Amino acid sequence: MIIIYHHNNKVVEVSFNGESIPFSKKNIAENVFDTAEKYPDQLIMWCQLDLKLNLNHAALPDIFHHDKIMASFNVSADYFLPKTIGYVDESPFLNVKKDVSYPTWQMSADIGGVHAKVVNALQNKVSLDTDFDYFLHSLAKGAMPNGLLCYSEPSLIKDHSQIIQKKKRTNFLVFRFVKQHYRTRWIFLLFLDLFLYERKFALFPLLASLFFKRRIFEKNLLDKIEVHSVKKVIDKKTIDVIIPTIGRKECLYDVLKDLSKQTHLPVSVIIIEQNPALGSTSELDYLQTKNWPFTIKHTFTHQAGACNARNLALVQVESEWVFLNDDDNRFESDLIEKTFANIESFGCLAALTFYPIAGQKLVEKKICQAAIFGSGNSFIKSTALEKVSFNKSLEFGYGEDTEFGLQLRNAGFDIIYFPNLVINHLKAPMGGFRTKPVLIWQNAEVQPKPSPTIMFLKLNNLSIQQLNGYKTVLCIKFYKAQHLRNPVQYLLNFSKQWKSSIFWAQKLKE
């Protein structure tokens, strides 16, 4: 292991297995690349000199359990990029929960590390910025979608009471970062948002950013790095399957047949059947008349709602893993076997598959950290279920999947997307006895925009900058889809709808 100690953005010492080795007077990033070239099989660490005694050496094997991981921890009170970055980035990778291992491209120069194999794969492909924080952010932002797994990792240090102060960053830095890592349109939206919500006229930062080119990573740079995690995440290799269903008898039968053909069979299939019609009974006769190679746990309820159904199922899980499935999915016989193989290779605790509807082509082809979550195509370690559940405030609306995924990440469970695992989503027609739910805002004088369930999700999980940035984009996009052509009238009406959405979202909290 190599440790590069630095102070005031300059290298002051380089250590190899406890012994000091020579280093150049180049900047920190250049030293990282020089060192990786000389020691291609080593973990390269960086550490603020003030944190030298605080580095938790014992935790490093667990943190860097395979060669495609980059991890750091921001000991400072504030992050390198100001909160204004939220105006252009709504992803869950921005609001880091610092007391758990959390997926993020916001790498810190305070303390962190990455394997030399990753550094060497990026040789001559990244800009070696003199500001080491900027270099790390840029590297992670570009490499994360292409397979580098990046984390804020609190276990890198032993004493969390130690704080390092950093100088305040300006809007020039944010505009530059946005120009180099997002589409150009975002610098203009950032300028607009700063004016609308902070009354700042950031003309010079905007103009200065135009002189910077966008940084784009080649998509195959990290493909040759093999991933073999030493982290043991599978022991018993048992799995239960959860399927909520309503009015899809034939489709559910096909799902059960696909499960019965699995080369690695589930222990139990937990079916929550819903029918809101009073006096109704189960229509799933084949659960008893057919022989199935797994235990079927069947619950019938008159209470409709996917959130309630999945929560009823979650408490019945007894196996080591759980497969969140749906009643209109189809998949190959080796799905569970291949999923376990991928999970073991990456040492992950939550996995997401490619989930195409008819005719949909695979676009995201890299195994990477997912910014989304799907309750019909995911596999989760059952220990996570103690800390998460589907939020019933979002019943019959939108956003329950996203909110569940945020709960997982906030509990320390990263979600890895595997494009080589495929579950086909048929999007089957709804069953005949489904009834349209009566929403509390249905007869409101001013109809909310966006949906109050979406607003509920965003109010609870986004920063004020992210929320305002979303508001601006929604306002611009919605203008094309509505009948009001007068811009002034439209803006006044949109403002009323936005306030209505906030009002009903707060009602959902109650």
Residues 487 and 419 placed together within one structural domain of the fold:
no
Type of residue numbered 323: F
Type of residue numbered 115: H
Residues 410 and 292 placed together within one structural domain of the fold:
yes
Of the residues 110, 139, 156, which one is the last residue of a structural domain?
156
Question: Rounded to whole angstroms, how far apart are CA atoms 359 and 424?
Answer: 10
Residues 276 and 412 placed together within one structural domain of the fold:
yes
Contact 269, 259 (CB under 8 A): yes
Handedness of CA 63, 64, 65, 68 (dihedral sign): positive
What is the Cβ-side half-sphere exposure of residue 261, based on CA atoms within 13 angstroms? 12
Domain count for the chain, please give it: 3
What's the pLDDT at 15? 95
Residues 338 and 408 placed together within one structural domain of the fold:
yes
Range in 161-170, 186-195, 293-302, 454-463 the model is least confident about: 161-170
What's the pLDDT at 433? 47
Question: For tokens 């195994």, what's the residue?
Answer: 367
φ, ψ dihedrals at 348, nearest 5°: -100, 165
Contact 3, 47 (CB under 8 A): yes
Contact 106, 74 (CB under 8 A): yes
Q: How does the average pLDDT of the chain come out, rounded?
A: 95
Give the SS3 label for residue 35: helix
Residues 271 and 339 placed together within one structural domain of the fold:
yes
Question: Rounded to whole angstroms, how far apart are CA atoms 138 and 213?
Answer: 13
Residues 144 and 10 placed together within one structural domain of the fold:
yes
Assess if residue 200 is contained within a domain.
no
Assess if residue 310 is contained within a domain.
yes
The pLDDT tens digits of the residues spanning 121-156 come to: 999 999 999 999 999 999 999 999 999 999 999 999
Residue 460 C-alpha from the chain's centroid: 16
Q: Percentage of residues in the chain with pLDDT exceeding 90?
A: 88
Of the residues 139, 156, 173, which one is the last residue of a structural domain?
156
Q: What is the CATH number of the domain that holds 257?
A: 3.90.550.10
The pLDDT tens digits of the residues spanning 170-191 come to: 899 999 999 999 999 999 999 9
Residues 406 and 504 placed together within one structural domain of the fold:
no
Assess if residue 443 is contained within a domain.
no
**Whether the predicted pLDDT of 431 surpasses 70:** no
Bridge-based pairing state of the strands 149-152 and 424-425: unpaired
Question: Rounded to whole angstroms, how far apart are CA atoms 149 and 304?
Answer: 38
Q: What is the CATH number of the domain that holds 84?
A: 3.90.550
**Whether the predicted pLDDT of 412 surpasses 50:** yes
The pLDDT tens digits of the residues spanning 33-69 come to: 999 999 999 999 999 999 999 999 999 999 999 999 9
Cis peptide preceding 154, ω within 30 of 0: no
CA distances from 290 to 256, 267, 273, 285, 439 (A): 11, 17, 17, 9, 39
- At residue 439 the predicted structure's pLDDT band, cuts being 50, 70 and 90, is confident
What's the pLDDT at 148? 98
CA distances from 274 to 129, 201, 268, 270, 436 (A): 57, 55, 19, 13, 14
Residues 255 and 386 placed together within one structural domain of the fold:
yes
Of the residues 425, 460, 492, which one is the last residue of a structural domain?
425
Alpha helices in 111-169 (DSSP H): 116-121, 132-143
What's the pLDDT at 315? 97
Question: Rounded to whole angstroms, how far apart are CA atoms 282 and 274?
Answer: 8
Residue 195 C-alpha from the chain's centroid: 30
For the chain, report the end-to-end CA distance as a whole number of angstroms: 53
Assess if residue 82 is contained within a domain.
yes
Assess if residue 30 is contained within a domain.
yes
Q: Percentage of residues in the chain with pLDDT exceeding 70?
A: 99
Assess if residue 211 is contained within a domain.
no
Residues in the chain: 510
Question: For tokens 């290799």, what's the residue?
Answer: 237
Residues 489 and 359 placed together within one structural domain of the fold:
no
Residues 69 and 131 placed together within one structural domain of the fold:
yes
Residues 255 and 301 placed together within one structural domain of the fold:
yes
Q: How many CB atoms are closer than 10 A to CB 77?
A: 9
Question: Rounded to whole angstroms, how far apart are CA atoms 120 and 221?
Answer: 10
Assess if residue 272 is contained within a domain.
yes
Residues 457 and 418 placed together within one structural domain of the fold:
no
Question: Rounded to whole angstroms, how far apart are CA atoms 13 and 5?
Answer: 5
Q: How many CB atoms are closer than 10 A to CB 147?
A: 19
pLDDT greater at residue 213 or residue 18: 213
Domain range for 67 is: 2-156
CA distances from 61 to 17, 257, 381 (A): 14, 42, 21
Assess if residue 29 is contained within a domain.
yes
**Whether the predicted pLDDT of 432 surpasses 50:** no
The pLDDT tens digits of the residues spanning 388-403 come to: 999 999 998 889 999 9
Question: Rounded to whole angstroms, how far apart are CA atoms 268 and 293?
Answer: 9
